[in-house]
Amino acid sequence: DGGITQSPKYLFRKEGQNVTLSCEQNLNHDAMYWYRQDPGQGLRLIYYSQIVNDFQKGDIAEGYSVSREKKESFPLTVTSAQKNPTAFYLCASSPTGTRDTGELFFGEGSRLTVL
Amino acid sequence: GNSVTQMEGPVTLSEEAFLTINCTYTATGYPSLFWYVQYPGEGLQLLLKATKADDKGSNKGFEATYRKETTSFHLEKGSVQVSDSAVYFCALRDQGAQKLVFGQGTRLTINP
C-alpha cells in the first residue's frame, strides 16, 4: 500500500542531543513537508521541499535541519539549538504540477519528548 | 500574511446533535480551503475541500461552503456520532503556493 511512514513513533531525548526523525513516502510525490503540532497552536510549518536537493524554510525553522537527497525521503533533525523541542511532528507529502489537487497526505507522526 | 482562525474548543456534544465549527480566513489571493480531521494518535486526513467561492465540499455527512463575502468556511454536520470525536483543522492554500496554512484546531468530543 502507498503511504507515508514516520519513525520512530515515540522518541525520548536528553537535553543537548540532536535527534533525527525519519519520513519515507512511496506515493511518488515531489513535495514533502514537516509540521510541528503543539496543543492549542495547530500545525506550524518547519521546512518543505518541492523537489530533490532543494528545500525552503517554513515559519519555525530555527533549531531544525533537513535534507532531501532522495525523492522518497525527507528526514528532519532536531538540533540542540531548538529551545523547546518537545512536540508532535508530522510529515506530509503532495504531488505537484498537473497531479496537484491541493491535498496533503500525512504520516502518523512522531512524538518527541525531551527529558 | 495568510491566516486561519477557528472557533475555540473543546466542543462537547451529545450524539445526534447538530455540529458547527466556525472557520474564517485572511488571504491575499483566491485560496483553496480545506477541513482536515485528526483521530486520536494519528496523522491528519483530508475531510473535505472547496476550491472557489460558493463551492460546497462534503464527505461523511460533513459539509462546508466557501463564502468569499464573509471569508468563512464553517464545518457542519446534521447528526454527529461518537466516532466523530477528533480534532478538526481548517486550512487554506493560496493560489500558486505550495504550503498549507492551518488553524489552531478544534477538539470535538461526542458523548453517547
Q: Cβ(B105)–Cβ(B9) under 8 Å?
A: yes
Side-chain half-sphere of A33: how many Cα atoms within 13 Å? 24
CA A105, A108, A113, B3 torsion: positive or negative? positive
Residue among A4, A48, A109 minimizing CB distance to B98: A48
What sign does the dihedral A3-B92-A78-A15 (CA atoms) show?
Answer: negative
Whether residue A102 and residue B104 make contact (CB cut-off 8 A), yes or no, is no
Q: What is the pLDDT of residues A57-81, one digit of tens each?
A: 999 999 999 999 999 999 999 998 8
Q: What is the structure's pLDDT at B98?
A: 77
Number of H helices, E strands in chain B: 0, 12
Chain B positions with Cβ closer than 8 Å to A:
4, 6, 32, 34, 41-46, 49, 51, 89, 93, 98-105
Tell which of A33, A41, A104 to mutate to test the B interface (max B CBs under 10 Å).
A104
Helix, strand, coil % over all residues of chain A, rounded to 5: 5, 50, 45
The pLDDT, as a whole number, for residue A1 is 64
Q: What is the pLDDT along chain B (112 residues), one digit of tens a residue?
A: 889 999 888 999 999 999 999 999 999 888 999 999 999 888 899 999 999 999 999 999 999 999 999 999 999 999 999 999 999 999 999 877 778 999 999 999 999 9
Candidates A43, A44, A108; nearest CB to B42:
A108
Subunit contact B44:A31, Cβ cutoff 8 A: no
